[in-house]
Chain A
Amino acid sequence: MSTVKESSPDPELAGTGAYTWTGKSRQWFLRHLPPEKLLPEDQPSYVASWAYVFGMGAVAGLIFIIGSGVVLSLNGPQWYHVSSLGHFTNSVHLWSVELFFMFMVVHLWIKFWMAAWRGGRLLTWITGMLAFLVSIVTAFTGYLLQTNFDSQWIAFEAKDALNAVGIGAWFNVANLGQIFMWHIMLLPLAVGAVVALHVVLVRAHGVVPPLDAAATDAQLRDSTAGAQDPEAKPS
């Protein structure tokens, strides 16, 4: 924490906020996640590839999962068996999940080949992996809620793996009420929280530079002597 004694031109830092928990928290957030980082209007020049669209694709998929899931929740788990609108909503829920996973997996592959954990981005990688793993469990509980042949069979088949590791009583795949709570309450909260943290971390740390980027590249301004790069204009 910087102290208020420091001469800072920023009134935000010099203000009384630094004395209270609230003020200290605000300073912490503003330092790590200033508005221009959270909602950027530019990106490094290397952020120019189709490789960068899959994270946003997964977020868009998640928006449709949540939207269709809310409509399904409002009508209850039996609705889609008897209503054509319900069946279509169920289809939207299914296909947005399929797309969400497809985009997320391609995003994961690409971030691996970028070695995107470099330069203090460890937690971004870990939260991304957590989002993937928690999403797998969430999708699995969704399959158990289909209340049809597939969910019956999955419940019978999957109990063995869960019982073998001793969690079958708390995560009882044949107990519709229990799985219902996992799927529409506990796990969506977890997915939402992890994805939100992941996105905030991406914004806070910025997009990882290319593996072979060097400070001598023509695309970089000289950091010490100012604008020596002929292509760089003073901003």
Chain B
Amino acid sequence: MTKVPSTMSWRTGDNIASRPWRGRVRDYDLFKELTIGVVVVGLLVLGLSAIFSSPDDPGVTLKSWAAAAPADFVATATAELGGSSGTAGYGPPYNSTPDASQHLGFFNPQELSGVRLAIDTANDFVINPLKTQSTQLPAVAVWTAATADQQAKWAANYSAALAAAPDGDPAQVAKGSYGPVPELAGALLGMARSGNLDGVLQNSGQPYNLNYTPTILFLGDGSYFPSLAAAAHLTGDQWGVMNETGNTPGQSWLWLFSLFYQIEPFKSSPNADILVVSTMLVLSLLLTLLPFIPGLRSLPRKIPIHRLIWKDYYGQR
């Protein structure tokens, strides 16, 4: 029996894969298979849902943060005032901090997209919320009247003093030249504790608002929120991209995306995100266009797993 090995090419040609099948057939019922599939998968879904349910760990509010970690809240508010927080130095799309964006050589899509979600941390996170209160703080007027240099100096001094104080406790900070910063940060802590800050920061003065960007960024600039995520194995360096809280499976299909963040050269690169995303895009494209790639498309012939898949067919001819 002479056999010409069928081509691995995707092209339509004079071969058995390209012609309608002229061989023996077997009975098949598409709708019956669909019904069986729906019933089996339905039972699996209902069973898994009944047994394992789904996780729903309550979110963090600015109020719960202020109650659980007031020192961290004050330190973060000070960093937002002084422009030294993660968000303040982020670059596009939030602000135009120089040299903050990630790039691949000269290709810098982050810079190209521009500042589209403008955030001025001192005003948006601290000063404007304080201005919404019925009694105006004199400290706000002192702050707004000062020069940018003076503001930055006050905030930097207070940040350093908080870091030096036992447990970062604002009550135990040594005397120094902090201007109105301790009062502003303390007043914001009071707003957060009462729950007012959650509403003010999120609604931006509008009756309807579905945009949580300011709240999420402010939370992330602190240590409390990230430390909760770290305790639940959700941070990027813990394969957190694919993890869900508790033991419920998460996005396990992101395993490769997650893996790249654990290994060099991605791990320690300042351009880790754009490197990982571009690598994943290239790999996804390669897999999509695999039928065009000689060598890779011949793997199924070189490693003959197809012998197992079609063992009945091969056995009966």
Q: Which residues of A contact B (CB under 8 A)?
A: 39-49, 51, 53, 56-57, 59-61, 63-64, 80-81, 87-88, 90-96, 98-99, 101, 105, 110, 112-115, 117-122, 125-126, 129-130, 133, 136, 139-140, 143, 146-161, 163-169, 172, 174-178, 180, 206, 208-221, 223, 231-232
Contact = CB atoms under 8 A, between A and B. Distances in A.
A44 B42 contact: no
Contacts of B229: 153, 156-157
A150 B6 contact: no
A193 B17 CA distance: 26
A49 B55 CA distance: 36
Contact of B54 (A91, A130, A164): A91
17 contacts: A44-B21, A53-B37, A57-B41, A61-B41, A63-B41, A96-B45, A113-B306, A114-B309, A115-B8, A117-B291, A117-B297, A148-B57, A148-B58, A153-B240, A178-B211, A206-B20, A209-B17
Contact of B17 (A56, A119, A148): A119
A211 B251 contact: no
A148 B212 contact: no
Given A42-B27, A163-B92, A166-B113, A120 B18 contact: yes
A118 B23 contact: no
A102 B210 CA distance: 33
B254 interface: yes
B311 to A, nearest CB: 8
Contact of B310 (A43, A63, A172, A210): A210
Contacts of A174: 211-213, 215-217
Contact of B306 (A80, A115, A150): A115
A113 B305 CA distance: 6
B109 interface: yes
Interface of B: 1-13, 15-31, 33-34, 37-38, 40-42, 44-46, 48-50, 52-60, 90, 92-93, 101-102, 109-110, 112-113, 116-117, 210-213, 215-217, 219-220, 225-226, 228-229, 232, 234-236, 240-241, 244-245, 248-254, 271, 273-274, 276-278, 284, 287-291, 297, 299-301, 303-306, 309-314, 316-317
Identify the 3 closest CB pairs spanning chains A and B, nearest first. Answer: A119-B17, A177-B210, A166-B109
Nearest to A43: B28
A138 B188 CA distance: 37
Contacts of B49: 88, 91-92, 94-95
B23 A217 contact: yes
A49 B41 contact: no
Given A157-B235, A174-B216, A122 B291 contact: yes
A121 B9 CA distance: 10
